[in-house]
Structure 1
């Protein structure tokens, strides 16, 4: 099976920005309330540069999720990498509507699990999903994640504090 995720590059910004624009309404129920500026190439370039800076500092791994033809289908981040006694990170991901149901998110999460353990040497990888995001929960369960409970009003998604 081809690799589903690879490190974000600045040359990805244009394609990624267009994917976000096309999927703005589709992603809204699962995302922070993004303003219009978020969907500009300039803002996406700034965010990509920030993410790559955090990657250089060792606190984040920003990936793009790609389909079998190499088209960018979404994003996956390993965020908040913590060293010391904890050795952990949080994974977050999304794919565009036209790529849903193809197994790309599941493959990318599987790669992130292996990378986190074998390359980064992390002990724990966690993820938060909204309680009604059954598809994402399925992706995580398929990749060996366990449920640990609910966090009330944990994330501000689509303009409201929501349970995860």
Structure 2
């Protein structure tokens, strides 16, 4: 399935990652391995292989078929992959919520691309998927990510102690959330 979301003013689009994107995704991960390590779980060396990235994309394609997760690439209008944004852990029934996570090439940070990508994913999550709430958890010292969330209207909800094992250590995370009505009423 090919699905694209555009923000031409910001110069980006989102597209569900396909197996043909595995080489570009691997290149993105390798290029950012050192810079992103402080924000990522420890990964075995085999994670940084073409086969592993193909497996990850294949799993996310299946996850999207099952309505469990959706992994998009963040692209410049030229077609260059500069990041990734994922809706994951989709809960249906009485919950109707999911988590989001994202990464951007360190050389592209500070240009507004991540903020624009989150804005696009919010519209997709609330309009197309019909979710009620999106949530994110970030390291307290990750000021860039905090700014991205706040610019998009996410509200801080609290501190999740020793929430996720990042860079080999259980670390606290600041939790943020946004509701469908927060986004959809802004558009009216």
- Asked if these proteins are the same fold (TM beyond 0.5), I'd say yes
Unaligned runs of 5+ in 1: none
1:49 and 2:58 are equivalent in the alignment: yes
Post-superposition offset of 1:126: 0.4
1:84 and 2:93 are equivalent in the alignment: yes
SS at match of 1:144: coil
1:103 and 2:106 are equivalent in the alignment: no
Post-superposition offset of 1:38: 0.6
1:12 and 2:21 are equivalent in the alignment: yes
Aligned residue pairs total 164
Post-superposition offset of 1:68: 3.0
- Higher strand residue share: 2
Q: Which has the higher contact order (CA 8 A, sep 6+)?
A: 1
CA RMSD after TM alignment: 0.9
State the TM-score, normalized to the length of structure 1.
Answer: 0.97
State the TM-score, normalized to the length of structure 2.
Answer: 0.85
**1:86-141 CA distances to partner (integer Å, 9 max, x unpaired)?**
10010000011111112111111001111111101110000010010010010001
* Distance in structure 1 (CA, Å) of the matches to 2:53 and 2:93: 32
Q: Which runs of 4+ in 1 moved over 6 A?
A: none
* Distance in structure 2 (CA, Å) of the matches to 1:49 and 1:57: 13
Unaligned runs of 5+ in 2: 1-6, 174-188
